[in-house]
Amino acid sequence: MKIEEYASLKPYNTLALDANARYLIIVTSLDLLCEAIHFANAKKLPYLVLGEGSNILLRGNVDKVVILMRTEGVSIDSKGHDSEVFVTAQAGETWHPFVQCCLSKGLYGIENLSLVPGTVGAAPVQNIGAYGVELADVLHSLQVYAPESRETFELMREDCAFGYRDSLFKQRQNTWIITAVTLRLSIRPAPKTSYGGILEELDAMKADEITPSAVAEAICRLRQRKLPDPAVLPNAGSFFKNPVITQAQFKRIQAEFPTIVHYVVNDQQIKLAAGWMIEQCGWKGKRLNDAGVHTHQALVLVNHGHATGTDILALAEEIQGQVKSRFGIRLDIEPTVA
Ligand code: EPU
């Protein structure tokens, strides 16, 4: 097992924050994962598991054993009922190539999650979601390792307490390490195009037919237009969650701001577009030192060069304060702060 001491995590987080890990271990198998945990215990240090580091804000140096999950492998396990197929991917697989691999094999259900950054193993933690689909919609089960009991076992979707950008793994960090994910996909195409912008993009592409591949391409084009490529402009995707409020709260806010962008969740709840509120506060394209708000999507904070985790958090606090005083709404930070 190769162990690096005081290793820079800059290449391993998409905000490109220059923090050091006390120890860094790259893990390519379950055996190595167990060894890495054993090492952390021996050093009396906590561990931190990272996938692609696309949903984390490093506040400063990390006095932990940082474990980079790089396990690989995809298997099409068995045919379920009717048109269902179970696909299992190891945690270290990169999400987008995995989506493309499924599409190329005629396995559908995750095309709307094209180009979401990160690894397969990190996807359930925040229940990745985009363009009308959430991971929880297609997740069947997870293989996890519990460092305390040193056991591996399977968790079913119902066990995972999935919510909007939320799961058991986010609520109870460091209890389980996700080692593999099994999805229930379909050989029958069922393109989902109701999220704003998809049909228009398919039109602009002059797609003859609405196939899952055409939807995937439309979503890639939409995302590439709005969201910055971390390799060019470091970022961690949406930095805030879209707040979910009650209908009664919503009526009060809408009376004052009739054009507020919102989505009905159910008869009781409304989700507000945080990006719209941030833009209304004048933050789109603005910066505070090297921490900035993206020009094309105000929900995304970016690192213009030498921002630290503290700079990003200072900008986030400034935005939270202004949104709170203008709309009376508290914005919650989406990435994990470590
Ligand atoms: N809007 C603005 N100004 C902005 C951004 C958004 O006015 O700067 C308004 C527009 O009216 C727009 C609406 O808000 O139509 C919604 O914007 P968008 O479709 O870009 O979606 P979002 O709610 O801002 C969420 C996810 C994204 C996901 C998109 C598409 C969260 C926290 N974010 O963003 O996820 O890609 O929907 O489904 O739920 C991520 O989690 O990292 C992420 C990028």
Q: What is the pLDDT of residues 1-45, one digit of tens each?
A: 999 999 999 999 999 999 999 999 999 999 999 999 999 999 999
Q: What is the pLDDT of residues 282-310, one digit of tens each?
A: 999 999 999 999 999 999 999 999 999 99
> Contact, 233 vs 213, CB < 8 A?
no
pTM: 0.97
- Are residue 46 and residue 90 in the same domain, yes or no? no
> Contact, 123 vs 95, CB < 8 A?
yes
* 210: in domain: no
**Mean predicted confidence (pLDDT) in 324-332:** 98
Calculate how far, in angstroms, residue 273's C-alpha sits from the geometric centre of ligand 1: 7
pLDDT at 326 over 90: yes
- Are residue 259 and residue 280 in the same domain, yes or no? yes
Q: What is the pLDDT of residues 9-18, one digit of tens each?
A: 999 999 999 9
Annotation says 165 is catalytic: yes
Q: Whose CA is nearest to atom 37 of ligand 1?
A: 130
Distance between start and end Cα atoms, the chain: 25
Residues with CB under 6 A from ligand 1: 130-131, 195-196, 226-227, 237-238, 241-242, 261, 273, 275-276, 279, 284, 297-299, 334
Calculate how far, in angstroms, residue 179's C-alpha sits from the geometric centre of ligand 1: 30
Q: Whose CA is nearest to atom 34 of ligand 1?
A: 238
Catalytic residue among 114, 165, 167, 223: 165
Choosing from 240, 299, 334 the residue with most ligand 1 atoms within 8 A of its CB, the one to mutate for a pocket test is 299
DSSP category for residue 244 = E
Quote the number of domains for the chain.
3
> Contact, 274 vs 294, CB < 8 A?
no
CA atoms of 81 and 335, how far apart (whole Å): 36
Calculate how far, in angstroms, residue 32's C-alpha sits from the geometric centre of ligand 1: 38
In sign, the C-alpha dihedral spanning 109, 169, 239, 40 is negative
- Are residue 163 and residue 62 in the same domain, yes or no? no
Annotation says 184 is catalytic: no
> Contact, 102 vs 110, CB < 8 A?
yes
78 confidence band (pLDDT: 50, 70, 90): confident
pLDDT given at position 98: 98
CA torsion, ordered 216, 217, 222, 224, to nearest 10 deg: 110
Domain boundary among 69, 97, 127: 69
Choosing from 235, 238, 263, 331 the residue with most ligand 1 atoms within 8 A of its CB, the one to mutate for a pocket test is 238
CA atoms of 273 and 243, how far apart (whole Å): 7
pLDDT at 80 over 80: no
- Are residue 180 and residue 135 in the same domain, yes or no? yes
Task: Compute the mean pLDDT over every residue in the chain, rounded to the nearest whole number.
Answer: 97
- Are residue 83 and residue 140 in the same domain, yes or no? yes
pLDDT at 77 over 90: no
Q: Whose CA is nearest to atom 6 of ligand 1?
A: 275
CA atoms of 218 and 211, how far apart (whole Å): 11
Domain boundary among 116, 151, 186: 186
Annotation says 78 is catalytic: no
DSSP element (H, E) containing 94: none
- Are residue 160 and residue 182 in the same domain, yes or no? yes
Structure tokens at 99: 């989506």
Q: Whose CA is nearest to atom 21 of ligand 1?
A: 273
Least confident range from 12-26, 73-87, 133-147, 253-267: namely 73-87
**Domain that residue 249 falls in:** 235-337
Q: Whose CA is nearest to atom 43 of ligand 1?
A: 238
Catalytic residue among 93, 111, 134, 334: 334
